[in-house]
Amino acid sequence: MGSVHNTEFPSYMYASSMVDRRVSKQVHDNVHGNIYLDPLALKFIDTEQFQRLRDLKQLGLTYLVYPGAVHTRFEHSLGVYWLAGETINKINIDQGSELGIDRLDIQTVKLAGLLHDVGHGPFSHLFEREFLPRVLHSNKWSHEEMSLKMIDYIVDEHNIEIDSDVMKKVKEMIIASSENTSSKSLKEKRFLYDIVANGRNGIDVDKFDYIVRDSRACGLTCNFRFDRPLDTMRVIGDEICYRAKEYLTIHKLFSSRADLHRTVYTHAKVKAMELMLVDALVKANNHLDMSSCIDDPAEYWKLDDSIVKYIETAKSEELKESRDLILRIRRRDLYQFCNEFTVPKDQLEYFKDVTPQDIICSQKSGLVSLKEEDIVVSNVKIDMTRGRKNPLESINFFKDYESGEKFPIPDEKISLLLPECYQDKIVRVYSKKPELVEAVSDAFENFQVKNYGMKTQVHGTPQKKRQRKQLRLC
């Protein structure tokens, strides 16, 4: 992928008229080039709570498959801060007087971009989506809500002087895409809340940054260019809209995100290591009680990716099982990927997640009797942010800059090559023990035949893999 900051961008990019370089700190980012941090942003950045983000890898364990994926939440947050600032500055230059944009609006949007991930958990989304539900038996906790608590904690702990109305709006912008957001609070200048976390249609600078940054770190080509939508956007009817000719560019935003999910975030080996790490953390939780700090910012900020090294080097007998699992990851003795299938299109609407028990119940009589603890099933969902719906149905466009009319564009008016389905569900099965690969694979095939009348997997588990693992029984 070509270097983003060597591309010829619009004049407002990287030389924003709103940046006072006399009081700003310049840093060089490998995606955006030189970016400038204003004094208020620096007050948050130069705290131990924000610096913690340096110890959270953006993509968790992905670097064990893609060695370059060692970038952190820290640099991503600076990138989102910069893009949020460039976005609001662009709107201000074009429409500031008619929209009533003021200095506090600009400051608020930039801070929301900077602080949107300050409450993020370790190991990308694994901590929040897989570890906590296992130990708390609940899915209620979110890193966005923790970000709000962390912002309050940082302000109080470091005596940061900040306008109370700015603080309130920063927090509202961070959770603007959340189901818990109150629509009442988003009535005034609603378009401002679409910049960092867009709950209206999913186009936001958070995605702009991580799609380009993650692609580059993993050595992948990225076909999406965020400069084009930024340069053509316009606020119409309190909503950020895009020029109609950029329809396919916007489509690339969502398709690039889906490609990253398929090839990077849910890579079969990455997932195997994540499943092992979750098991290790669950086993360690009784001793370390990591889940007890998730509502207390004063303790939570001390939790980061280094917990793996602590478990790995600790001598406590209570952590032995967790240590052994982490050692297996280090030595590439992973849970064995047996096979996968994509849920048929006509089954998507009523599909229920497959469980290890489903696989066991499909086992035919044999030499080995599988147990639930021998199997891990990963139910992977990949979409374009709106489930089985086309995300572009929620986006409004305009014809040209003289027009004040906004309108949606149906796919069929653009291209007949665009997809008819916008979601994949993939079922993967892993064997925790190498010697059980064949038994698990056979049971998985039987499950498919029983439920779909045929094997829906693309190919069988390689015979070589089955035989090699069975040699360990001899």
- What Rg value do the Cα atoms of the chain yield, rounded? 24
> In this structure, is the dihedral angle defined by the CA atoms of residues 429, 446, 425 and 352, taken in order, positive or negative?
negative
Instruction: Find the Cα–Cα–Cα–Cα dihedral 50, 52, 53, 57, rounded to 10°.
Output: 180
CB 325 within 8 A of CB 281: no
Helix, strand or coil, per DSSP, at residue 104: helix
Q: Cα separation of 329 and 303, whole Å?
A: 21
Catalytic residue among 76, 116, 120, 143: 143
Tell me the HSE value of 58 on the side-chain side, using a 13 A CA sphere: 26
CB 402 within 8 A of CB 440: no
CB 78 within 8 A of CB 26: no
Biggest CA pair distance of the chain = 79
DSSP 60: G
93 sits in which H/E element: helix 73-99
CB 371 within 8 A of CB 214: no
CB 305 within 8 A of CB 57: yes
Q: Cα separation of 92 and 108, whole Å?
A: 14
Q: How many helices (H) and strands (E) does the chain have?
A: 18, 8
Burial of 95 from C-beta contacts in 10 A (0-12 / 13-18 / 19+)? middle
Instruction: Find the Cα–Cα–Cα–Cα dihedral 121, 125, 126, 129, rounded to 10°.
Output: 100
- Nearby residues of 299 by Cβ (< 8 Å), 6 or more positions away: 292, 293
> For this structure, is 116 an active site residue?
no
Closest CA to 2 of 246, 232, 253, 215: 215
Helix, strand or coil, per DSSP, at residue 428: strand
Closest CA to 300 of 139, 459, 121, 422: 121
Q: Cα separation of 411 and 329, whole Å?
A: 45
* DSSP notation for 394-405: G--EES-TT---
Phi, psi dihedral angles at 175 (to 5 degrees) = -105, 20
Enumerate the active-site residues: 143
